Structure 1
Amino acid sequence: MDKSIDSNSNNKINKFHFSPLTLQQLRQKIDDFAMERNWQQFHQPRNILLALIGELGEISEHFQWKPDSDCDHGLPKWTEHERIALADELSDVFIYLIRLADRCRIDVSKTISQH
């Protein structure tokens, strides 16, 4: 089982937490990944935004034909395969969002902490 997926979410709603990686650590990993592949030339904010929108569409596909009763807090009716697929898409969105903030030079950690 993928350790990033909490498949017993009904019993752990209040105990769920993210791993301790900081946004800066994630930003650096994403930047290193792009640099190793010489992708920074394609990572203009507009390009990243368009990729982000595409990934958001992929998330919506996982919910599109599910009844509301299958989309309760923690997604308890979803199979492990469905949850892993959703986790992959959520990660893609988060990666693009962090990359977009990085390429726009916007410190979202600071902005979030001010709200």
Structure 2
Amino acid sequence: MTDPFKQLHDAMEEFSAERDWDQFHSPKNLAMALTVEAAELQECFQWLTEAQSQELDEKQLTAVRDEIADVQLYLIRLAGKLDVDIEAACWAKMEKNAEKYPAEQVKGSAKKYTSFMSNR
């Protein structure tokens, strides 16, 4: 795991150890907690229009920051449990996405790659 993920991983390890929470942090439980935090992030935008979601007030933005941090911290903790290098995984996934979504075929489209695969 690379910096800053390594530093955050180490801090999360220490935080959990101080509270004896490692017993609860199985990959399954962390993945489940991650989905809860992602839902809490979605809740920050629930009922907002597209325009409102792009112009959050300071209270809304603070809540969004907190939920983004929660999501990221659970991802870092899960990655640490499974020995996944987040940065390397992200770069590898970007390469896969570039292959699945060639710019010349998908530019301006939100369709899933399976809808245009037959055109390749």
Query: Structure 1 CA distance, aligned partners of 2:64 and 2:56?
Result: 10
Note the aligned Cα RMSD (angstroms). 1.3
In percent, how many aligned pairs have the same letter?
35
Alpha-carbon distance, 1:79 to partner: 1.1
Structure 2-normalised TM-score?
0.71
Relative to its length, the structure with more helix (as a share) is: 2
Query: Structure 2 CA distance, aligned partners of 1:60 and 1:110?
Result: 27
Point out where structure 1 has 5 or more consecutive residues left out of the alignment.
Answer: 1-20
State the partner residue of 2:62. 84
Instruction: Please say which structure displays the higher CA radius of gyration.
Output: 2
- Dislocated runs of 4+, deviation >4 Å: none
Aligned residues: 91
2:18 matched to 1:40?
A: no
From 7, 12, 15, the equivalent of 1:30 is: 12
State the partner residue of 2:33. 51
State the partner residue of 1:108. 86
State the partner residue of 1:67. 49
Point out where structure 2 has 5 or more consecutive residues left out of the alignment.
Answer: 96-120
Alpha-carbon distance, 1:94 to partner: 0.4
In the TM superposition, what whole-angstrom CA distance separates every residue of 1:57-96 from its partner, at most 9, and x where no partner exists? 1011111100011123xxxx21111100111111000000
With a CA cutoff of 8 Å and minimum separation of 6, indicate the structure with the bigger relative contact order. 1
Residue 25 of structure 1 aligns to a residue whose secondary structure is: helix
Residue 65 of structure 1 aligns to a residue whose secondary structure is: coil
